[in-house]
C-alpha cells in the first residue's frame, strides 16, 4: 500500500503498533457454500491481495466455517500478506466458548493468529466474559486486536463502560448509500473516540435493495458521468473522506465488498483511486438523503 492509497488507521495498543489498512478490503460472506467454484473464490482472494486489498473479513458463521477454509487455502504460503479478520457467534462468546471457537477458526484458516477478532453481534453473555476471553487470546498470541459487529450506540456505550472495552478496535456494521442510519448517531460517536467503522454490504448485496441501488437513475447517471461502474461509485461513496474533505487519504470507514469474478475484484481495487467531487456527492445526497433522526441499526 502506497502512502497515497486511501487508508484507515488502527490506533496503537499497549501491545501492538498502529497499522494502516486499505479503505477497501475483501468480504467472504456466501463463500464456501458451493455458490461458486471453490477455485474461483480462492483465486479471487489471491487476486485481491495482489491488487492491495489486504484486509480479508470472514466469520465462523459464513458457510458454517466454509468461508474460513477458503481464506485459509487462499493464504497458503502468503499469510503475512493479509490482515485477517474473523468473528465469533454471540452464543460462543463465553469465557471458555470464545477460546474454543477461536481455535476452530484458526484451524480452518490454517494460521496461528487472527489480526482482528470480532463479536459478531450483541448476545446474552455478559461483555465482561467475552472481553476476558479476548484478553486471554491476546496474551496467548492467538489474536492481535478485538472488536465488535452490529453494535449500535447503546451497545457501544455499554462496551465502553466495561473494563477493557475501551480497547475495541472497530465496529463492523451494515452501511451503504441506501442505508445511512449510522450517520446520525453511531458514526459521530465512533469518530469522537477514533473507532473506525467496517462497512459490510457496501453494495447492498443482501435483499432486493441491491437492484434498486445499482439501477437507480441517479446512481447510473453519476457513474456514467464519472466513467465508472455503479458498484465503484457506491464503494467510493462509502469510503469518501471524512466530512467530505478532498485530498486527504485518511479515512475511517473500511468497505468490505465480496467478489468472485476477476473483473469485479479489479474494479473494487480501482475504486480506491476514485475521488468523488462535490457535485457527485450532492446529487447522491439528494437522491439518498442523510438521516435526520435516530433509526434502528440495519442488520442482515
Query: Rounded to 5 degrees, what are φ and ψ at 257?
Result: -70, 150
Q: Which residues contact 38 (CB under 8 A, 6 or more apart)?
A: 32, 70, 73
Residues 240, 236: Cα–Cα separation, whole Å: 6
The catalytically annotated residue of 30, 62, 175, 200 is 62
Query: Rounded to 5 degrees, what are φ and ψ at 255?
Result: -90, 140
Q: In what order do the strands lie in the sheet with 83-88?
A: 55-57, 83-88, 114-119, 143-149, 171-174, 197-200, 253-255
Residues 259, 40: Cα–Cα separation, whole Å: 10
Question: How would you class 112 by CB atoms within 10 Å of its CB: exposed for 0-12, middle for 13-18, buried for 19 or more?
Answer: exposed
Single out the residue of 254, 279, 293 nearest to residue 7, CA to CA. Answer: 254
Q: Which residues contact 113 (CB under 8 A, 6 or more apart)?
A: 106, 141, 142, 143, 144
Question: Annotated catalytic, 62?
Answer: yes
Residues 255, 27: Cα–Cα separation, whole Å: 9
Displacement of CA 81 from its chain's centroid (Å): 17
Which residues are known to be catalytic?
62
Amino acid at each position: 500500500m502506497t502512502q497515497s492509497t486511501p487508508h484507515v488507521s488502527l490506533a496503537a495498543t499497549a501491545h501492538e503498533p498502529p497499522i494502516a489498512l486499505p479503505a477497501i478490503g475483501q468480504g467472504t460472506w456466501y463463500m464456501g457454500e458451493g455458490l461458486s467454484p471453490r477455485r474461483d473464490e480462492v483465486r479471487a482472494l489471491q487476486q485481491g491481495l495482489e491488487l492491495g486489498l489486504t484486509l480479508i473479513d470472514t466469520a465462523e458463521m459464513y458457510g458454517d466455517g466454509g468461508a474460513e477454509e477458503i481464506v485459509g487455502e487462499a493464504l497458503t504460503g502468503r499469510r503475512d500478506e493479509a490482515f485477517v479478520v474473523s468473528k465469533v457467534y454471540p452464543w460462543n462468546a463465553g469465557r471458555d466458548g470464545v477460546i474454543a471457537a477461536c481455535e476452530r477458526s484458526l484451524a480452518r484458516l490454517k494460521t496461528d493468529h487472527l489480526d482482528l477478532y470480532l463479536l459478531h453481534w450483541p448476545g446474552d453473555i455478559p461483555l465482561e466474559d467475552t472481553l476476558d476471553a479476548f484478553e486471554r487470546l491476546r496474551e496467548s498470541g492467538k489474536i492481535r486486536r478485538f472488536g465488535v459487529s452490529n453494535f449500535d450506540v447503546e451497545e457501544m456505550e455499554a462496551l465502553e463502560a466495561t473494563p477493557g472495552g475501551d480497547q475495541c478496535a472497530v465496529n463492523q456494521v451494515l452501511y451503504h448509500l441506501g442505508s445511512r442510519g449510522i450517520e446520525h448517531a453511531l458514526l459521530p460517536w465512533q469518530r469522537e473516540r477514533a473507532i473506525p467503522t467496517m462497512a459490510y454490504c457496501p453494495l447492498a448485496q443482501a435483499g432486493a435493495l441491491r437492484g434498486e441501488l445499482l439501477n437507480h437513475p441517479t446512481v447510473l447517471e453519476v457513474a456514467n458521468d464519472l466513467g465508472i461502474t455503479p458498484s465503484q461509485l457506491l464503494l467510493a461513496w462509502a469510503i469518501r473522506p471524512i466530512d467530505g474533505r478532498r485530498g486527504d487519504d485518511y479515512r475511517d470507514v473500511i468497505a468490505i465488498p465480496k467478489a468472485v469474478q476477476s473483473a469485479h475484484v479489479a474494479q473494487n481495487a480501482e475504486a480506491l483511486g476514485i475521488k468523488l467531487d462535490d457535485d457527485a456527492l450532492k446529487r447522491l445526497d439528494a437522491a439518498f438523503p442523510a438521516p435526520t433522526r435516530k433509526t434502528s441499526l440495519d442488520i442482515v
